[in-house]
Structure 1
Amino acid sequence: MAEPSKLFNFDFSDDGVALRIAVARAKFDVSCASQFRTEIDKRWNERIHRVSLDFTNVEFIDSSGIGALVSLQKRLDPSVSPLELLNPSPAVTTVVELLRLHRVFKLTHLDGAGARSAEHLPPS
């Protein structure tokens, strides 16, 4: 199994309120979901109010991966900020939408320069 630092890159904002996680795998599934939760547990603190997951490299997600995302979303105050998935692939977007989780998560597509080219926000 790969080192956690090679699977996930955790980056906190200067004020510690925002956390950005880059997922460096093509599959966010049963093979890494437990490890993802463990790594979140190690780094979590009550100041975190915004979490973005960079899914640029993720091409597949299964029920274990979805479970890990839902678990992470439950830690956040939905009135402040939903869990944000950055650059989800069409396959990941389809799974999220089929499960109606696009009503819970924020799906954001960034263009090459890092600007938001499209956002799908959960209803308020």
Structure 2
Amino acid sequence: MTRSIRYHLDHDFNCCNAIAKALREKGINVTVSRQVGLAGASDDEQWEQALRTGRVIVTHDAHFIDFWRRQVEHAGIVRCQQGELSVGDVIRGLVLIWETCSSEEMIGSIIFLNRSLIEGL
């Protein structure tokens, strides 16, 4: 059975509340750190939360690439370069990923959300 991607926005992700609101309006399941009691939590705690709940973590933080390199099975990572994309671009990119990838396809994957991906929309 193919399941829809569920996102978790890392606590230091810029404008995460606005992004989460826009994604929810499109029917996408998303959490933010403050909502799940992880405001100010470490990257390790954010990672563990995403692992426990089967959520794709969305982050600006390059440190999460180190988690990916460990080859621990996870729901996926979407890495956005801070300052490269507008809030609208991030929303469009996350919607595109949600529409075109299943949660099964995201397992163990990392997607670098960047201008060239967004311009392909």
TM interval, shorter chain, is 0.3 to 0.5
Q: Which one has the bigger helix percentage?
A: 2
In the superposition, the TM-score normalised over structure 1's length comes to 0.36
Q: Which one has the bigger strand percentage?
A: 1
Greater relative contact order (Cα 8 A, min sep 6): structure 1 or 2?
2
